[in-house]
Structure 1
Amino acid sequence: MLIAHATWHGGALCLWAEDSALPATTRIRVSPKPHPFAAPDFEGTSYAAVTRGAPRIEPTLVLPGSATGPFPSPELAREPTSERPEPRPWRVPALVLDPLAAMTLLHLATDAEDVVRGADLRFFSHVADEAVHLAARGRVLPALVREDGDLTARWRPVITGDDAARFRELAAAMPPACRAADEDRPASDVLLDALSGLVDAAVRGVVPHPLLPERAGRVPDRLPLAERWAAALTGPDPGVSREPGDDPDALAAELDAWAAAARRSTGPLRVCFRLVEPPAPEGEVAVQGPWTVEFAVQGTDDPSLYVPAAALWTGEVTSVPNAEETLLTGLGRALRLYPDLAQALRVATPTSVTTDAEGAFRFLREAAPLLAAAGFGVQLPQWAGRTRLGMKLTTRAKTATDGSGAATSSGFGLDSMVDFRWDLAIEGEDITEEELAELARLKAPLVRLRGKWVELDEKQLASALDFLQQRRTGEMTAAQAVRAAIHAGDDALPLLQVDADGPLGDLFSGEADRRLEPIATPDDFEGTLRPYQERGLAWLSFLDRLGLGAILADDMGLGKTAQTLALLANRTKTGPTLLIGPMSLIGNWQREAARFTPKLRIYVHHGSGRQRGEDLVKAAAEADLVLTTYGTAARDHEALAAIGWDRVVCDEAQALKNSGTRQARAVRSIPARSRLALTGTPVENHLTELWSIMEFANPGVLGPRQYFRERFAVPIEAHGDEEAAAALHRATGPFILRRLKTDKTIISDLPDKQEIKVWCNLTQEQASLYQATVEDMLDQISNSEGMERRGLVLATMAKLKQVCNHPAHLLKDGSRLHGRSGKLERLEEICAEVVEQGEKALVFTQYAEFGAMLRPHLETTLDRPVLWLHGGVTKRQRDELIRRFQEDSDPAIFLLSLKAAGTGLNLTAANHVVHVDRWWNPAVEDQATDRAFRIGQTKNVQVRKFICVGTIEERVDEMIERKKSLAERIVGTGEGWLTELSVADLREIMRLDPEAVSD
């Protein structure tokens, strides 16, 4: 399997492959050397048809690594390294795809069995979607540019209004690898270059290429420059030939002025368009006009400043400076987006446009979104986009009868027959036959129905009417009803409602866990389930009986393990259950099973001594629960697939998020009667991860991956399509149960979590070291470039964080700790208070070396044992440390390395959590905090995050608070973005304020 990566360089997409079959370590010490993981090309893979024939180069790319070699990408799912990543140059064989070829690849590129997209290539797929979106909305302008001395005709994006905000979010979300060939360029420059190239390709892909006309016997090359330029805008070749007498500067200046006008700020005022509906007509179903689009001038920052155009021209309002000029100039700019304005601009004092129902519908669906995106004000009736026709599916379970005709009860499964009926509906109310006939007769895009204006798409309505004529009523299986409800609306009107009884009604209720009768704690379960866990057990059992897969996505700490074990204890055994999870959690499953379900027979299939062949079949047959790891399941998938499993459970199911990996394919290939995915994060970065987990739980329910991407992922992630989001929720809702710890209706007795930022001062020694480090490193950074500069920035960040911890942490001289650090002084106070109150605390640090320094110091200061968990601790030692902390009263303080102990531990004996130094990734810190804030915790949890005031720690914390959610949704968070800052910005973020130093 290959991992596909991409960087943008020289106006083209440089595509390269990382081979997962190559070893994870190397000893190459001199750079730039050939990248040891790089594959030569994509021959023999699903990408071959698109990449074959592309020019080959071997650029030097700056990629994460260390002195011992490059790091493999996260998509390879290898064991994390303890080495700190540093950017280093590597020669990488790459394929050069011009924007047209890149657009083809990016729209075809998906995770496949043989190729998985890296985060960088996935990012460029988002950029390609954005380019298509801009082109489709007309947010492009033509340009005449010089490229290597030649004239070319190009389309360029117009990025204003909402598109500008979207552009900034994309730039913040760009993975560093996307500019590995140009690491000195800001992310925004690389993004604009890529977006411009892909926009040009998008327009050329849809605009037909006309033949140049012959005029007056002249050959095409002798035509005027403007005509040669216009022809080059649509063909595959953007080149514009040069002729004597051409004045490209004049044409380019006109085009640049056009683009500047389109991008010009609207200033304090903007033009606003308001759609006014006609008076209410009589009758149940009617169409009446005219409709009016009124013009007005509105305040940009204060929308309440609203002056109708009629009031301006009559002199009724005269106190708004430049209002008339703003109105006329704005209407002129809007004409390209809303051509119906032409009739209004024929008069000197335009006030409105009068139109019919079709014109009003065209304004609603086409002009209004374009105008709003371009920065104009748009006011629509309250019903616009809300009151719409849709489909309604009604199903009724069939009642079995005995020979005498009396009704009998029978079990229900996916093969059970149900009666169905399809109807058109508006806001849950069925449309009558008479109303339906009238709608078909009118064929109008806007109709007043039952006192409400309704938007109708003629093609969708015709498709829906044809659908109803073919299969309005009848019988189908419950499985067909499920698929129909999920995919209804793909080709016709959207599905608004499912009215079902019996088990299907429970399934589509939206709150199945609350609608179902809770199942009491099973007799064979040692413990008592909480009320929400009993509802969860009922939901799991319900889907299990139907043979449907489930995704239990409860928040971390709500007891997914306990609910799963209760499911095993509650059901009559029809075969063993296979549970697949990370290696770090297998021991936890053993302990929890022994605690809650001691009667279950457990077999652990892992390690060199694991059973094989017939011995494995026998061991599984004699067990109720078989535990194995993802790695073992991938290696032994053929042997595991030969066993008749009752169910397959995947814990931490986000391990399946990349559907094309060998691991995900192997797990999906193991058959079972039902499947269960356990995960607190069903979507970490992008929606196709949800598809991958659903494909494990219920294969085929969401359709092929490409269909899912086009139907849901792109509309929701790229364009914020609420209708697509609602459809996805409807499609996945029956199979996903998600509850949060913070929801008091779920768990009212879980204590509160209080997060506190603890502001610490530096000592004089720390301040001197801090200032010296800043001056020394900034001087080096200002005189460096490329990979060297990026490495220096990251090294500076690390050094400054170490200074903020303690001088001895930076100097590594083994000197005394007491009295030299504001953070240490505050930590000593908190730990002493915790011990005095008879409570316990978890103290996290990202630096194992600092934890090793803190342990003996805190033991001496507190006169108490302090536990210390880091990456070098063996599994047996780890388990003993956890046992001591949870069960013994003496160890009150548990020092933990954030990387080694951030997940997979239950440490509810602590009700204090201290983050001594910041990872600058909120998700990582929250996961670590949840070691204490989870079920079993009986006290309020106080979380303290140490920040040195007036230092880089305070300013980065402020920047994180302002970060947009898109960056986390696409590529997660980290520290790489800091390397993009200029020297001036770095000086500002690193500066030491006077208040940083304690007296």
Structure 2
Amino acid sequence: MLVAHATWHGGALCLWAEDPALPDTSRVRVTPKPHPFAAADLHGTSYAALTAGAMRVELTLLLPGSAAGPFPSPELAREPSSRRPAPHPWRVPALALDPFAAMALLGSADDAEDIVRGADLRFFALVADEAMHLAERGRVLPALVREDGDLTARWRPVITGADAERFRELARAMPPACRAAGDGRAAAEVLLEALTGLADATVRGIVPHPLLAERTGRVPDRLPLAERWAEALTGPDPAVAREPGDDPGALAAELDSWAAAALRPSGPLRVCFRLGEPPQDDPGGPWTVQFALQGTDDPSLYVPAGAIWTGDAASVAGAEETLLAGLGRALRLYPQITEALRVATPTSVTTDAEGAFRFLRESAPLLSAAGFGVQLPQWAGRARLGMKLTTRTKTDPGATVSSGFGLGDLVDFRWDLALEGEDLTEEELTELARLKAPLVRLRGKWVELDDAQLTKALEFLSRGRAGEMSAAQAVRAVIHAGDDTLPLMEIDADGGLGDLLSGQADRRLEPIPTPDSFEGTLRPYQERGLAWLAFLDDLGLGAVLADDMGLGKTTQTLALLATRAPYRSERGPTLLIGPMSLVGNWQREAARFTPKLRVYVHHGGGRHRGEELEEAVRGADLVLTTYGTATRDREALSAIAWDRVVCDEAQALKNSGTRQAQAVRSIPARGRIALTGTPVENHLTELWSIMEFANPGLLGPRQAFRERFATPIEAHGDEEAAAALGRATGPFILRRLKTDKTIITDLPDKQEIKVWCNLTPEQASLYQATVEDMLDRISASSGMERRGLVLATMAKLKQVCNHPAHLLKDGSRLPGRSGKLERLEEICAEVVAEGEKALVFTQYSEFGTMLQPHLEARLGRPVLWLHGGTTKRRRDELVRRFQEDTEPAVFLLSLKAAGTGLNLTAANHVVHVDRWWNPAVEDQATDRAFRIGQTKNVQVRKFICVGTMEERVDEMIERKKALAERIVGTGEGWLTELSVAELRDVVRLGPEAVSA
């Protein structure tokens, strides 16, 4: 596990990694010394692809530590040093990422299996977000900058008003490591440099790059400096081509004046440009770019330039001066204004179709990015010319309907070309190609065409357009057809193939009612999901069930097995692979919903091997195992004939190159199902990895997928590539959200879920030692002493179930030592990813104090903490911040301090980490979120450690729920009345509590 750090130096994001496994070489006699834990590079990690083109550099960083060595970062969770920190220089190998590469990494990087982001790298991700927000709101201006003697075109952020306050907040929050290579520069100076570089990269990624080669008219031998500068404002290269006689001083001074004016309080009006079409009765007539003034805060306020010069807008103060000054500034971005400014009262620019095309493609995006108003016709934008595939199911001679659907069935097909959803004839397309005009009038409306599209379309039509093929060939054709130039725009298929290719198969298929062998009732959306799973399962195609957290992916999967009752053992059992923390949950859910299903759990040190494993599998319908066990037992599991393999929390496969992902993919099966609430967490290649498990080879090689989909979508926001990816994956991915009103109308207002957690070996050892000590002492005591011992020991056992450090109180590290903590991290991360909020209750203040900084570091977000020692003023402030501020997503609360009296309806998730064992007390705490004012369904999770007293006490409460108020009372005192034999049964450690 590496910790990724970042600093900004030399106009680049410099990334370096801290590896705690490296030997300490800091005592070598070199000044400055090499950092003892600095990793040489990031090859072989999840960041390798994002840093492939980075330049290797060596930095000297001032880092806290002592002369003996630097202090490790907090992310390494080592024991804090008792020595007083002081800054010392250390040599570190780093990767310098230009702003383009930095934006790609910061926009997609997150904690991964092999990388944890340091606070400094997380900070730069916030800076990248701020750069994007400034660019999206037009808070950037173009500039001409001298860099090492060369001229470059740059976009500079305009930081005023609320943006200036946000800038100051970011500067105050900057971790010192972000400027560790800055030679003592102030935080604001480093922040401005980073924000400027990232904002420039953002605009270049949004605004299309105008290429001189695309101009259809004559290109002059020598373009003016202003036009060369405007060309350099887009695309990856900011260099401005130099010509003899260039005088950049005047242009630079005017742009600097523009920037200075923008920093002054902005007025209520801005210049706006509107593209006007030729008259309806004269398609070959002139085009116009009309000038106007538009309200800065109210774009509906629109005053044409003609009204200003005729006096009709006399009530608009300073309109003439504002219009002329704005046109003067816009002149550098749209030089054609020059002709209009030769008159005293400019109103518009007159141009031809080619000039209108250049305004659309070049000037309009630049003007919009610089904060001017731009109004374009509704049709503006390149016409969506693409392919259309039509298939029709072939029926047997004499049959009136198809007898069924399989991938081997033949279908009739036809390829056509369509423009904006309308089929084009060959004659129309040939005429468009003959005209070779960038803007043409087609069927009564203007469209913008591309020569490359037309050429490729004619080539396409020269090939075979109709015939027959198998359904499997049709599926592959849909996935691989089209490209950025000529995409697949529409599919018209009937029958089973239409159900599959529609991307809405769950709605087109007939829902499957709750199976007779399923002990429960499926909701309508779950019946549709079951029909979809069964449909793909029958075809032998893999499915990715990506329903939102809490919509019942486990339930639908078990219902699928129930539809196969009496379980098709002749085709082999189902293998389910999931995190260790969920194995117990699957075992109990199977016992609850499908009690006749034979389940074998394959994990732990005592699991079967060899012939014993084969025998156990033959006697099972469902085999449960963990990702770790599947990796270790890869050969043994691959030798078994499985009907299907199901992966729960399938995001564990997102890094396709890991041993774990490779092992799981290598297990053969007739069908495959991936269950995940987050099919894409950071990168689109994660989706490829999950799909490669579900349907191997369907999306092609990983590199081809990156070139076709991942890079265009992530780096350039390519909507056509995104639509093509949706069509390619839509048939195999079912995603429903709780926010979808068609899904949640039948969900309860409050859904309670028991979350089953395992103990780690360390927890199990501490638990067993506590039990043995307790039983000896309790058996020799009586009266009040006995009751006190029982309660004290129960508290110790609950602390062990929470975390060893909670019981030991030794301040030791938290990661990797508690099943509950692992599950809590997973749930909180998913809540944050979904943009929702959670309340996390614990009855132990000391445990909450331990959790708060740990969760804050893991989530990269503020985690609030309210306990009995919180003052009323601080308590009110915490509640207000959680309710009103979007940043804190997790609120840790002490059960006693916050179980009543608070309104926290911003949260729709409630987690009870340790149980109070009194339903009334837990319900009161839950009601902090589940109360009047709550607009979302509330999900309540109660953590229970498998095989411990937590599970058995929960069983006792469930059995006696009707009498809970009398038996359980208002606390845990009822436990003290149990006999020693009953206590022994309650607190014993079951073999299922821990797994290897």
TM-score if structure 2 supplies the norm length? 0.64
1:362 has 2:358 as partner:
yes
Deviation at 1:504, TM superposition (A): 1.8
- 2:674: which partner in 1? 677
For the 8 Å contact 1:110–1:706, the answer to whether it is kept is: no
What aligned pairs does 1:219-368 form with structure 2 within 5 A after superposition? 256-257=256-257, 259-260=259-260, 267-281=267-281, 288-368=284-364
SS of alignment partner, residue 417 of structure 2: strand
- 2:831: which partner in 1? none
In 1, the alpha carbon distance for the partners of 2:462 and 2:168 equals: 46
CA distance 1:432–1:595, shift in 2 (3 Å): same
In 1, the alpha carbon distance for the partners of 2:686 and 2:163 equals: 26
CA distance 1:151–1:264, shift in 2 (3 Å): farther
What aligned pairs does 1:794-873 form with structure 2 within 5 A after superposition? 803-804=869-870, 827=899
- 1:567: which partner in 2? 560
Deviation at 1:352, TM superposition (A): 1.2
1:738 has 2:748 as partner:
no
1:420 has 2:420 as partner:
no
2:687 to 683, 687, 690: 690
- 2:92: which partner in 1? 94
- Structure 2, unaligned stretches of length 5 or more? 24-31, 212-227, 240-246, 752-834, 840-852, 876-892, 926-939, 972-996
1:683-737 CA-to-partner distances (Å, cap 9, x unmatched) read 4455444344333323444455555556555665666655454444333322222
- 1:497: which partner in 2? 490
Deviation at 1:272, TM superposition (A): 0.7
SS of alignment partner, residue 558 of structure 1: coil
In 2, the alpha carbon distance for the partners of 1:558 and 1:499 equals: 31
SS of alignment partner, residue 470 of structure 1: coil
What aligned pairs does 1:844-923 form with structure 2 within 5 A after superposition? 875-889=947-961
SS of alignment partner, residue 354 of structure 1: strand
For the 8 Å contact 2:910–2:941, the answer to whether it is kept is: no
| Residues paired across the two proteins, number | 775
Deviation at 1:181, TM superposition (A): 3.9
In 2, the alpha carbon distance for the partners of 1:465 and 1:895 equals: 80
CA distance 1:44–1:535, shift in 2 (3 Å): closer
For the 8 Å contact 1:294–1:351, the answer to whether it is kept is: yes
2:61 to 41, 59, 62: 59
- 1:179: which partner in 2? 178
For the 8 Å contact 2:16–2:95, the answer to whether it is kept is: no
In 1, the alpha carbon distance for the partners of 2:201 and 2:520 equals: 62
Deviation at 1:269, TM superposition (A): 1.0
**Which amino acid is the alignment partner of residue 304 of structure 2?**
P
Deviation at 1:516, TM superposition (A): 0.6
1:835-864 CA-to-partner distances (Å, cap 9, x unmatched) read xxxxxx998578x8xx99x999979x99xx
In 2, the alpha carbon distance for the partners of 1:185 and 1:891 equals: 65
**Which amino acid is the alignment partner of residue 158 of structure 1?**
R
**Which amino acid is the alignment partner of residue 56 of structure 2?**
A
SS of alignment partner, residue 275 of structure 1: strand
**Which amino acid is the alignment partner of residue 883 of structure 1?**
E
1:647 has 2:644 as partner:
yes
- Structure 1, unaligned stretches of length 5 or more? 24-31, 74-79, 209-226, 239-246, 760-786, 810-820, 832-840, 863-867, 897-999
What aligned pairs does 1:277-676 form with structure 2 within 5 A after superposition? 277-281=277-281, 288-385=284-381, 388-399=384-395, 412-571=405-564, 572-573=568-569, 574-676=571-673
For the 8 Å contact 1:4–1:116, the answer to whether it is kept is: no
1:730-763 CA-to-partner distances (Å, cap 9, x unmatched) read 333222222234545335332336999999xxxx
1:591-622 CA-to-partner distances (Å, cap 9, x unmatched) read 12122223322221111112234543443344
SS of alignment partner, residue 499 of structure 2: helix
CA distance 1:730–1:518, shift in 2 (3 Å): same
SS of alignment partner, residue 463 of structure 2: helix
CA distance 1:178–1:269, shift in 2 (3 Å): farther
- 1:157: which partner in 2? 155
Kindly report the root-mean-square deviation, in angstroms, between the aligned alpha carbons of the 2 structures: 6.0
With CA pairs under 8 Å and 6+ residues apart, which has the higher RCO, 1 or 2? Answer: 1
1:476-522 CA-to-partner distances (Å, cap 9, x unmatched) read 44334334334444243333321011222102324211111122333
In 2, the alpha carbon distance for the partners of 1:891 and 1:348 equals: 88
Deviation at 1:107, TM superposition (A): 8.3
**Which amino acid is the alignment partner of residue 506 of structure 1?**
D
For the 8 Å contact 1:5–1:117, the answer to whether it is kept is: no
What aligned pairs does 1:741-752 form with structure 2 within 5 A after superposition? 741-752=738-749
Deviation at 1:877, TM superposition (A): 2.8
**Which amino acid is the alignment partner of residue 157 of structure 1?**
W
In 1, the alpha carbon distance for the partners of 2:872 and 2:619 equals: 57
CA distance 1:517–1:435, shift in 2 (3 Å): same
Deviation at 1:583, TM superposition (A): 1.4
In 1, the alpha carbon distance for the partners of 2:728 and 2:167 equals: 28
Deviation at 1:380, TM superposition (A): 1.8
- 1:26: which partner in 2? none
SS of alignment partner, residue 528 of structure 1: coil
**Which amino acid is the alignment partner of residue 641 of structure 1?**
S
For the 8 Å contact 2:580–2:626, the answer to whether it is kept is: yes
CA distance 1:872–1:203, shift in 2 (3 Å): closer
1:499-550 CA-to-partner distances (Å, cap 9, x unmatched) read 0112221023242111111223334333333332221111011122233222
In 1, the alpha carbon distance for the partners of 2:699 and 2:664 equals: 18
In 2, the alpha carbon distance for the partners of 1:167 and 1:549 equals: 51
In 2, the alpha carbon distance for the partners of 1:620 and 1:37 equals: 46
**Which amino acid is the alignment partner of residue 389 of structure 1?**
L
**Which amino acid is the alignment partner of residue 272 of structure 2?**
C
1:773-826 CA-to-partner distances (Å, cap 9, x unmatched) read xxxxxxxxxxxxxx9xx99xx9999788664278999xxxxxxxxxxx999687
In 2, the alpha carbon distance for the partners of 1:466 and 1:329 equals: 50
For the 8 Å contact 2:546–2:675, the answer to whether it is kept is: yes
Deviation at 1:629, TM superposition (A): 1.2
Identity of aligned residues (%): 62
1:656-677 CA-to-partner distances (Å, cap 9, x unmatched) read 3344444334333333332212
In 2, the alpha carbon distance for the partners of 1:49 and 1:426 equals: 39
SS of alignment partner, residue 590 of structure 1: helix
For the 8 Å contact 1:116–1:661, the answer to whether it is kept is: no
CA distance 1:609–1:621, shift in 2 (3 Å): same
Q: Which stretch has the larger CA shift, 493-502 or 680-689?
A: 680-689
CA distance 1:797–1:13, shift in 2 (3 Å): closer
CA distance 1:442–1:62, shift in 2 (3 Å): farther
What aligned pairs does 1:7-156 form with structure 2 within 5 A after superposition? 7-9=7-9, 11-17=11-17, 38-42=38-42, 54-57=56-59, 59=61, 94-98=92-96, 103=101, 119=117, 140-144=142-146, 156=154
For the 8 Å contact 2:911–2:942, the answer to whether it is kept is: no
In 2, the alpha carbon distance for the partners of 1:17 and 1:711 equals: 31
For the 8 Å contact 1:106–1:124, the answer to whether it is kept is: no
In 1, the alpha carbon distance for the partners of 2:690 and 2:300 equals: 47
**Which amino acid is the alignment partner of residue 365 of structure 1?**
R
TM-score if structure 1 supplies the norm length? 0.64
1:152-207 CA-to-partner distances (Å, cap 9, x unmatched) read 86654323599998997999899979838489999886554335557899999999
CA distance 1:576–1:38, shift in 2 (3 Å): farther
For the 8 Å contact 1:61–1:92, the answer to whether it is kept is: yes
For the 8 Å contact 1:521–1:529, the answer to whether it is kept is: yes
